[in-house]
Amino acid sequence: MMKLNPPKLNGTTEIVSQRAENSKTFNLDYGKRALEVHIGAIHYKNDYTPDEPWKDIDLTWKDNKITKAPYELTLEDNKITIKNKKSDEISTIELLEIGGESLVLASGMVSFKNVALDTDIEIVVENSRVRFVRILKSDKSPKEAKFKITGNFRVQASDVDGNIPIESSLVDGILTETLKPDRPVKYPVRIDPTWQVGGDEGSTDDCTRNTVTTDFFSTTYSALYLGYSSPSYPSRGSAARFLNVAIPTGSTIV
């Protein structure tokens, strides 16, 4: 955690011209200034040109869209379309089926209860990423779901005790994900295909160790995420590598 120990900023004035992607600067009394720094982005630009001022991220939905972020997101029933403002790349994810059953989500909503047996859906937007979360509420919940995707998405599953292995495959743009627990599960379990802006903010999303399991009929690729371990599997543990993290002069990490 980055700790600057600044004075209270209530009633102070932000120096907007001094904004950076992940920081704000404030004028204090007696000619002093305070720097507020975040690990991830708190500001965005529409075109990311050098002369464009940084704007505050606002994740308020309007007309089924998020526009005041490092990305532009549009929600249409089961489908999310995301434009990365840094690269202009377009990514999409569309829920096709859960447990082999097709379904249609109600338009204009981001949270859905019992769309399948003991299964909820949430669309979670954050400053630099979007998650299409499937929530399994009991052992009766379907373990498999299919999505149609373009672009890069990362899939992980977890309960209160940590990450749970999940088998995923991508064939002809169809992502199939199946929960494959190797330990007793404490429900609810959250499975979330995740899209991330990428770029200048701090990230550990590529910090995985890959395992490959092959038998006569198929090959399975799995990713072990940060903090994952399994007493019954020969590959254990993981590590973190932080990417492109800028530490302002005079700051310390403790």
Q: Mark 116-144 as b/e (b = at least 16 C-beta within 10 Å).
A: beebbbebebebbbbbbebbbeeeebbbe
Q: Name the pTM for this structure.
A: 0.73
Cα–Cα distance for residue pair 27/180, rounded to 1 Å: 53
Q: Is the pLDDT of residue 210 over 60?
A: no
Helix, strand, coil content of the chain in percent (nearest 5): 0, 45, 55
Cα–Cα distance for residue pair 81/90, rounded to 1 Å: 7
Decide which of 203 and 173 is more confident.
173
Coil/strand/helix, residue 17: helix
Q: What is the pLDDT of residues 184-207, one digit of tens each?
A: 999 999 999 999 997 443 444 444
